[in-house]
């Protein structure tokens, strides 16, 4: 790798210190860590920032309830975040507290610069204030007189304050978003922001009088006021990397910045913050990525509802590597995902214990018994036709994984590696080294070498997700270590004759208990059968088979067999190319597909075709997709479309263009 390396800067939001971290905080921070590790393996020099937001009314109120000063409260609460991250194998480069002098200096200088340029002015403000989100709303924005974001109470406030001329930069922001389609990701969030910007943008109140709120950074031009927490907090991303005091360092990292946020703070980051940056004469960050929420029983986690999941409890019960794997494997960035212990255990048992762990355990155990406990010589392989296929898959795997990661499809990158792991398991079944050893030891050794070498490559590609477990497993394969860069991940890294040492199965299988939220046994089986029959993203067939009502509230009865031409035009049919496919754990028929529809990121679609098509044959197939169905879950997995298929006495076939393959995203009809 040359000395001059590209740079990659990733941040999480800075988390409020009014409560302890939950699984949502853990997910976002682990995602940042995984992205940072992958980009390091791509050859980038990386910088990873996280931290805590310590100012504002919520913090002041939380401290008051505990009988502490705000600073005492912050000193105690920030440690819950700072101390948690290393236990989840998160390796951030910096941890910012917004009460630190290095941050306060930058905030005051930014405020003074905007005041001097006329972008901050004083005026009287009348509005409705939500303490929970620490934001003002106009009367038109309220819903039934309540906060539009939380449904909570608001206070009507009239007071003199300072304002930032946010409206001045509205058109410039719209132009930037339209000119840079991947600036805000995923596309649904970009469209949400553009929708918000269709209305005239109001100027932003960026101060609070000390008579109402004293806990904040004092305005440098008026000591009777502190700055609004969102003006203060958002500047952490630039204060840490050198704004106003280390220009070369700032320019190095700012040009390559990727910012991970929850979708609930999309507006503050993509409108408030970006217009502030314009006013300060700064470039825009490269990416703002808004991920979804973790839900419990389809409900957002909330302390008041008592459904908040503690990441420490999951880590201690099942291990940090399984926790990291589940969080990265389960959620599609941008979509909500349901968290349950049951789904966690199914992922662990089917993918880690069965697919990955069992492969390693069988190969090392067999070599210990039949091959002197060392890596066998590769020879000329097993002599089976599958040798070349497995090696070809291994050769293209790093580039495929990199493409998915750079498209923010981490779950698809993991899926791609696990498909290869499953191919290795089938390879072992096809070459049968356990039988061949009796008649052709060299061929058996060649098969085991290919399977072990494939496993080594797969483990390296999973290292950013499960660093400790992968390091241990690679150590068991002849003392190997993680390669530094993807470019170094070449076939033939295992050294024949090196001792293997795997004293115990790497992923213990956990018993799946009866969970309280699980339906009775008969309905559960019925639901499974219904889901297996579903060949759709929305699971519409499953919904009708189960007897549930349509989402529009109608009876579901068919009034007429005829559809109008206008009805037909509402259906968006697109040609897609299947990139990856994998079985859905616990289902005999469902496959989870990653489908290229010519969009910035592939679609995840669940289809009931696994009993008719071998999973390894599906990738590369062209399909016809109903692309404008509302995303919904099938068998607990979010699906974003429907694959069209036909079935008769001759079996099932996919509806696809004939002849020359069509470009993904081509309209049908």
Label each residue of 376-426 as H, E or C: CCCCCCCCCCHHHHHHHHHHHHHHHHHHHHHCCCHHHHHHHHHHHHHHHHH
Predicted local confidence at residue 133, as pLDDT? 77
Quote the pLDDT of residue 551.
29
Instruction: Tell me the chain's radius of gyration from C-alpha atoms.
Output: 27
How much is the pLDDT for 514?
62
In this structure, of 115-129, 390-404, 507-521, the range with the lowest mean pLDDT score is 507-521
667-668 and 287-291: which strand pairing?
A: unpaired
**Start-end ranges of CATH 1.10.730.10 in the chain?**
340-488
| Alpha-helical regions (H) of 160-200 | 170-179, 187-196
CB burial class (10 A; 0-12, 13-18, 19+) of residue 521? exposed
pLDDT top residue among 598 and 576? 576
Average pLDDT over residues 423-428: 95
Question: pLDDT digits over 212-248, tens only?
Answer: 889 999 999 999 999 998 899 999 999 999 999 999 9
CA 637/CA 332 separation, integer angstroms: 10
Q: Where in the chain is the domain with CATH 2.40.50.140?
A: 521-549+564-668
Select from 200, 294, 296, 280 the least CA-distant residue to 244.
280
- pLDDT reported for residue 547: 27
Give the pLDDT confidence score for residue 20 in this predicted structure.
85
Q: What percent of the chain has pLDDT over 90?
A: 62
Question: Given pLDDT bands bounded at 50, 70 and 90, which one contains residue 572?
Answer: confident
Half-sphere exposure (Cβ direction) of 173: Cα atoms closer than 13 Å:
28
Give 62 or 452, the one with higher predicted confidence.
452
CATH of domain 340-488: 1.10.730.10
Number of H helices, E strands in the chain: 23, 26
CA dist 565 and 571 (Å) reads: 10
- Give the closest residue to 14 by CA, choosing from 328, 259, 292: 259
Mean pLDDT score, 156-176: 95
- Residue 555: per-residue pLDDT: 27
Above pLDDT 70, what percent of the chain? 88
pLDDT given at position 615 = 73
Specify the fold of 521-549+564-668.
OB fold (Dihydrolipoamide Acetyltransferase, E2P) (2.40.50)
What is the rounded average pLDDT of the residues 277-292? 96
pLDDT tier at 586, thresholds 50, 70, 90: low
- Report yes or no: 50 and 32 within 8 Å, Cβ to Cβ: yes
What is the pLDDT, as a whole number, of residue 661? 72
Q: Does residue 523 contact residue 545 with C-beta atoms inside 8 Å? A: no
pLDDT of residue 516 exceeding 70, the answer is no
| Least confident among 185-189, 506-510, 609-613 | 609-613
Quick: pLDDT tens for 64-96.
Answer: 999 999 999 999 999 999 999 999 999 999 999
Q: Report d(CA 105, CA 243) in Å as an integer.
A: 10
Please check the confidence at residue 211 and state whether its pLDDT lies above 70: yes
Q: Kindly state the average pLDDT of the residues 329-355.
A: 91
Contact partners, residue 503, CB within 8 Å, separation at least 6: none
Per-residue model confidence (pLDDT) at position 218: 97
pLDDT in tens, 344-369: 999 999 999 999 999 999 999 999 99
Q: Which residues of 52-85 are buried (b: 16+ CB within 10 A; e: fewer)?
A: bbbbbbbbbebbeeeeeebeebbeebbebbeebb
Q: Is 198 helix (H, G, I), strand (E, B) or coil?
A: coil
Within 16-67, where are the H helices? 23-41, 57-66
pLDDT confidence tier of residue 649, bands split at 50, 70 and 90? low
CA 348 to CA 324: how far, in whole Å? 11
Least confident of 44-48, 343-347, 410-414: 343-347
What are the backbone angles phi and psi of residue 82, rounded to the nearest 5°?
-60, -40
Query: Average pLDDT for residues 428-456, to the nearest whole number?
Result: 96
534-561 pLDDT tens trace = 333 333 333 322 222 222 232 233 333 4
526 has pLDDT over 60: no
Strand order in the sheet with 155-164: 135-137, 120-130, 155-164, 204-205
Average pLDDT of 169-198? 95
The mean pLDDT of 569-582, rounded to a whole number, is: 83
At 286, the pLDDT band (50, 70, 90 cuts) reads: very high
153-157, 304-308, 416-420: which has the highest mean pLDDT? 416-420
Q: What is the pLDDT of residue 540?
A: 33
How far is Cα 209 from Cα 216, in angstroms, rounded to an integer?
A: 10
C-alpha to C-alpha distances, 282 to 192, 233, 303, 575, nearest whole angstrom: 24, 17, 38, 41
Nearest to 106 by CA among 222, 276, 259, 224: 276
Residue 310: which pLDDT band, with cuts at 50, 70 and 90? confident
In DSSP terms, which residues pair with 606 in a beta bridge? 592
What local confidence, expressed as pLDDT, does residue 184 receive? Answer: 96
What is the average pLDDT score of the chain?
A: 86
């Amino acid at each position: 790798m040359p000395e001059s390396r590209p740079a990659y800067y990733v941040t999480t939001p800075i988390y409020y210190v009014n409560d302890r971290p939950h699984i949502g905080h853990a997910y976002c921070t682990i995602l940042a860590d995984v992205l940072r590790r992958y980009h390091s393996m791509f050859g980038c020099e990386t910088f990873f920032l996280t931290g805590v937001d310590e100012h504002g009314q919520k913090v002041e109120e939380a401290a008051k309830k505990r009988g502490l000063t705000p600073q005492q409260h912050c000193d105690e609460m920030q440690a819950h975040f700072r101390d948690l991250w290393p236990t989840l194998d998160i390796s951030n480069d910096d941890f910012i507290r917004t009460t630190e002098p290095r941050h306060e200096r930058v905030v005051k200088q930014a405020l003074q610069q905007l005041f001097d340029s006329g972008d901050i002015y004083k005026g009287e403000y009348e509005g409705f204030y939500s303490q929970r989100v620490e934001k003002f709303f106009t009367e038109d924005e309220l819903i039934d007189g309540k906060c539009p974001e939380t449904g909570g109470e608001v206070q009507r406030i009239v007071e003199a304050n300072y304002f930032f001329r946010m409206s001045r930069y509205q058109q410039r922001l719209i132009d930037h978003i339209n000119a840079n389609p991947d600036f805000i990701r995923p596309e649904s969030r970009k469209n949400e922001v553009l929708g918000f910007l269709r209305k005239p943008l109001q100027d932003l109140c960026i101060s609070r009088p000390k008579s109402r709120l004293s806990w904040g950074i004092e305005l440098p031009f008026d000591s009777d006021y502190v700055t609004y927490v969102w003006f203060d907090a958002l500047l952490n991303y630039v204060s840490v990397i050198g704004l106003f005091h280390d220009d070369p360092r700032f320019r190095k990292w700012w040009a390559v910045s990727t910012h991970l946020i929850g979708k609930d703070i999309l507006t503050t980051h993509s409108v408030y913050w970006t217009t502030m940056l314009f006013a300060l004469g700064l470039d825009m960050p490269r990416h703002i990525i808004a991920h979804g929420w973790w839900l419990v029983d389809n409900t957002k986690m909330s302390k008041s509802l008592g459904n908040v999941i503690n990441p420490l409890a999951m880590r201690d019960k099942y291990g940090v590597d399984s926790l990291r794997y589940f969080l990265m494997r389960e959620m599609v960035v941008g979509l909500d995902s349901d968290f349950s212990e049951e789904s966690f255990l199914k992922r662990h048992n089917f993918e880690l214990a069965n697919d990955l762990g069992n492969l390693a355990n069988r190969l090392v155990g067999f070599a210990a018994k039949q091959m002197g406990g060392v890596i066998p010589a590769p020879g000329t392989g097993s002599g089976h036709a599958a040798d070349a296929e497995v090696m070809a898959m291994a050769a293209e795997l790093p580039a495929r994984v990199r493409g998915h990661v750079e498209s923010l499809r981490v779950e698809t990158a993991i899926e791609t590696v696990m498909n290869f792991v499953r191919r290795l398991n089938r390879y072992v079944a096809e070459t049968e080294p356990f039988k061949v050893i009796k008649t052709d030891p060299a061929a058996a050794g060649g098969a085991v070498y290919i399977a072990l070498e494939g496993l080594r490559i797969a483990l390296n590609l999973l290292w950013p997700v499960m660093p400790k477990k992968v390091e241990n497993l690679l150590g068991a394969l002849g003392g190997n270590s993680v390669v530094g860069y993807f470019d170094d991940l070449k076939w033939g890294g295992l050294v024949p004759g090196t001792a293997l040492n795997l004293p115990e199965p790497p992923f213990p299988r956990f018993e799946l208990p009866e969970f309280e939220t699980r339906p009775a046994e008969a309905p559960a089986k019925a639901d499974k059968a219904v889901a297996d029959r579903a060949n759709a993203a929305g699971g519409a067939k499953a919904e009708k088979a189960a007897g549930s009502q349509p989402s529009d509230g109608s009876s579901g009865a068919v009034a007429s067999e005829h559809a109008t031409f206008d009805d037909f035009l509402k259906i968006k049919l697109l040609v897609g190319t299947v990139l990856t496919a994998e079985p859905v754990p616990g289902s005999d028929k469902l496959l989870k597909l990653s489908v290229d529809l010519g969009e910035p990121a592939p679609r995840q679609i669940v289809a009931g075709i696994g009993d008719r098509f071998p999973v390894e044959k599906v990738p590369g197939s062209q399909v016809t997709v109903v692309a404008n169905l509302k995303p919904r879950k099938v068998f607990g997995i979010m699906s974003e479309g429907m694959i069209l298929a036909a079935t008769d006495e001759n079996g099932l076939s996919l509806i696809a263009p004939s002849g020359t393959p069509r470009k993904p995203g081509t309209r049908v009809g």
